[in-house]
Amino acid sequence: MNQRIMIDDVREQYAGVARGELSNDSSAVRSIATAFGYSDDELNQLPAEANMGLSCGNPLALAGIREGEVVVDLGCGGGMDVFLAARKVGSSGRVIGIDMTAEMLERARAGQQKLGLTNVEFQLSTIDRLPIPDNSVDCVISNCVINLVPDKLAVFREILRVLKPGGRVALSDIALKQPLPTEVKQSVEAYVGCISGAILIEEYHSALVQAGFTSIVVTDTGADLNSYAKASDGGCCGGGSCGSESSTGQKSLHEGLASVLQSFDANAFAASVRVHALKQSTPQTINEIPVSNVLPVSKEKAMKTVHVYDKPMCCSTGVCGPDVDPVLPQFAADLDWLKSQGHQVERYNLAQQPQAFIENKSIHQALSTEGTDCLPVIIIDGQIVSRKIYPSRDMLSGWINGSPAKQELPVAKSSDGCCGTSGCC
């Protein structure tokens, strides 16, 4: 496919959706957002214009947005995620929505006026050339947009450029589990509908690495991609209200995507993914570090064994369900970082590996006296160093390098006099 033609067709199709009647007032449109992780409370906060049934996830679920931050939403559409983020950053923060479709931004600004938001702005631009200064953004979010861009590496490099050191990216997107059938790969409807422009999950991860990101986590949420077709069957596009046909005479976006999804099993080939990554806060390579600051690496550095005992979770990392604690993706990335340093890391989920909790006497004792309130428990070389919280990377690094563990939470002592100073109970 010619990239220029595809970009123009994407713009035209999404402009058609923006001119149409799809809105948050439609139960079918809301059903798409609900299927991909939005709560009724979130949807009830939105003006009608903001939601057009274009989501494939909820990036705010893992963004961990805080008051006072600067957040950028790539491909903001009608402003759905911008408005939800605006409540989180408060009056001292700012949210910038970027979209290449003027009709979408017209919708978004109408919604902004209804809500009376002064901490929000919208800019017309493609996302591979952002009109934002270097090192000025705390968090970049995006919802089902990057798959539409031919040069994804260019987008990732732009994101890295505008992020502050230590800034993060939280994306919802479509990625592939395996290559698509040829007829789907060549389908214009599938491309505009966020399927055929997607890349393999492994390629997605590699592109983020190549762009310069660290602590990368790409997780299949397990959401049903057929939700689009089901919503269409339920009247999402009834009466032609999804938007007019393109100049090529093809179907409107939702109708075309529904047609494509009926031709093959989308869930077997593609996935709704959550993506979390960080911009390095310190120099990444030895060439970037002043020579005087480079210390010799000890050949006798001892590798540690780290065991993590989690509360019952839906999966091994807890980042695949609809409601994700923003701490979990970061902690999973920190454990991957420990592995990259050569340390052995084992993680146990009470819901899936209860035997591991029984076999460890101190964990079994803790569960017997406190129940799951004692979890998570972090053990390094047999010593409990943390309970009830997920520690930061700095804390993990300190313990790995021999710093004493600070047990800031009360430790239950058993009747047989088990010592609480080490964290065992």
Give residue-wise pLDDT tens across range 380-419: 999 999 999 999 888 898 899 877 665 444 333 333 333 3
What pLDDT was estimated at residue 58?
A: 92
What pLDDT was estimated at residue 250?
A: 47
φ, ψ of residue 174 to 5 degrees: the values are: -105, 130
> Residue 53 and residue 37: Cα distance in Å, rounded?
12
Q: What share of the chain is helix, strand, coil (3-state, %, to 5)?
A: 40, 20, 40
Distance spanning both ends of the chain, measured CA to CA: 63
Q: Return the ∠ at Cα 150 (arms to 250 and 276), rounded to 5°.
A: 115
Q: How confident is the model at residue 1 (pLDDT cuts 50, 70, 90)?
A: low
Q: What is the mean pLDDT of residues 24-46?
A: 92
Q: What is the mean pLDDT of residues 10-20?
A: 90
At 137-150, the pLDDT tens digits run 999 999 999 999 99
Is-contact 77 104, C-beta < 8 A?
Answer: yes
What pLDDT was estimated at residue 201?
A: 95
> Residue 289 and residue 190: Cα distance in Å, rounded?
46
125-129, 235-239, 343-347 — which is least confidently predicted?
A: 235-239
Q: What is the mean pLDDT of residues 292-321?
A: 69
Q: How confident is the model at residue 370 (pLDDT cuts 50, 70, 90)?
A: confident
Calculate helix-pair angle for 201-211, 152-162, nearest 10 degrees.
40
At 335-350, the pLDDT tens digits run 988 988 889 999 999 8
| Amino acid identity for residue 184 in this structure | V
Is-contact 37 223, C-beta < 8 A?
Answer: yes
What pLDDT was estimated at residue 321?
A: 60
Quote the tokens at residue 87. 């409540």
Most confident of 74-78, 229-233, 248-252: 74-78
Using alpha carbons, list the distances in angstroms from residue 128 to 100, 150, 162: 11, 10, 11
Between residues 116 and 195, the one the model is more confident about: 116
- pLDDT score of 72 more than 50: yes
Domains and CATH numbers, the chain: 3-279 (3.40.50.150), 301-400 (3.40.30.10)
Query: Which residue shows structure tokens 């309130």?
Result: 373
What pLDDT was estimated at residue 347?
A: 95
Between residues 329 and 306, the one the model is more confident about: 306
Instruction: Report whether the peptide linkage leading into residue 165 is cis, meaning its omega lies within 30 degrees of zero.
Output: no
Q: How confident is the model at residue 287 (pLDDT cuts 50, 70, 90)?
A: very low
Q: Which residues contact 177 (CB under 8 A, 6 or more apart)?
A: 200, 201, 220, 268, 269, 270, 271
Q: What is the mean pLDDT of residues 63-83?
A: 95
| Amino acid identity for residue 171 in this structure | L
Q: What is the mean pLDDT of residues 259-268?
A: 80
Is-contact 138 68, C-beta < 8 A?
Answer: no
Nearest one of 120, 124, 19 to 79, comparing CA atoms: 120
- pLDDT score of 194 more than 50: yes
- pLDDT score of 366 more than 50: yes
Q: What value does the mean pLDDT of the chain take?
A: 82
- H or E segment to which residue 262 belongs: none
Give pTM, 2 decimals: 0.70
- pLDDT score of 367 more than 90: no
82-86, 295-299, 313-317 — which is least confidently predicted?
A: 295-299
